[in-house]
Amino acid sequence: MANILVIGCGNIGFRLASALTRDGHCVTALKRTPLAVPAPFALVLGDIAQPSTFSSLPANYDLVILVLSASGRNAEQYRALYQAGLNNVLNHFAAAGVAPLCLMVSSTSVYGQNGGELVDEDSPTQPASATAEWLVKAEQRLWQAGPHNCVVRFSGIYGPGRDWLLRRAAAGEAIQRDPPSYTNRIHQDDCLAVLLFLTGKMLGGTELDKCYLASDNDPAPLWDVMVWIAAQFGYPPPKALPSAIGVAQNKRCSNARLNALGYRWRYPSYRDGYLPPYSA
């Protein structure tokens, strides 16, 4: 079994560290703040943006999984985490003369395309925000640190506790209908399953591509999604906004590379994941 460090222990990171522990791995998780519940794995409190965090952290890990979450949505907070923090992580291992495999969670926000294009791992990253620019730089830094390091780009995460679209549907928010405004999503259970799937491949010696786009099989217009949700939950159907008002994010994410690797979706469509009572 492997010695694994999970950096970031929010909802997904905690579930990941717990699942890896159940699978027999020796797991340490690094988190900024204490957990509210007991952990079945070793927990180290620290902020990767602070070099002192690494003063007593071992370097003998086989795999490092970065499930980072900035404390806010501004560029400086992303810079602190994805530049200073990531550099501190990589420098810690470089100083010890080791190079563990690294798997990092990124986001499809690195694609700024907004004309309904189909994007995949080979599409150019065109970040439309400063936060997305820091994600792109972090990906490049990770790949520079090791040719076998891997990035997985999650699209919009949903699931119990992440009910933004449900609240919008319940409020009867008006939605753009024409032209279609495409959206992409991944259920949080699939986030966990994708990370476990890629972890297994990496530890098993499979030669992975440097990047995988993780979004379900159904990139769909927001109008279609909201009409379907409203019908399922008994909300009034949405009203259509005037056409062609423009949207900041309007692309279709292809998961063909991940599917070809053998991943099987728990929730292949929003029709599977947004069912009442919306429980995992």
The DSSP-derived string for the chain is --EEEEE--SHHHHHHHHHHHHTT-EEEEEESS--SS--SSEEEE--TTSGGGGTT-----SEEEE----SSSSHHHHHIIIIIIHHHHHHHHHHTT---EEEEEEEGGG----SSEEE-TTSPP---SHHHHHHHHHHHHHHHH-TT-EEEEE-EEEBTTB-HHHHHHHTT--EE-SS--EE-EEEHHHHHHHHHHHHHHHHTT----SEEEE--S--EEHHHHHHHHHHHHTPPPPPEEPS----S--EEE--HHHHHHT---SS-SHHHHS-TT---
**Both structure tokens of 17:** 């560290």
Per residue in 166-211, pLDDT tens?
Answer: 999 999 999 999 889 999 999 999 999 999 999 999 999 999 999 9
Closest CA to 216 of 277, 259, 177, 160: 259
Task: Specify the pTM.
Answer: 0.96
Cis previous bond, 277, omega within 30: yes
Q: Which amino acid is at 191?
A: C
Mean pLDDT of 125-154: 96
Residue in the structure block whose two tokens are 């297994």: 200
* Whether pLDDT at 106 is above 50: yes
pLDDT at residue 111 tops 50:
yes
Average pLDDT rounded to a whole number, residues 145-174: 95
Contact 199, 171 (CB under 8 A): no
How confident is the model at residue 248, as a pLDDT? Answer: 57
Tens digits of per-residue pLDDT, 68-82?
988 778 899 999 999
pLDDT for the residue numbered 10: 94
Work out the end-to-end distance of the chain between its first and last CA atoms, rounded to an integer number of angstroms. Answer: 29
Mean pLDDT rounded to a whole number for the chain: 94
pLDDT band at 240 (very low <50, low <70, confident <90, very high): very high
231-257 average pLDDT score:
85
Q: Is the CA virtual torsion 105, 91, 32, 133 positive or negative? A: negative
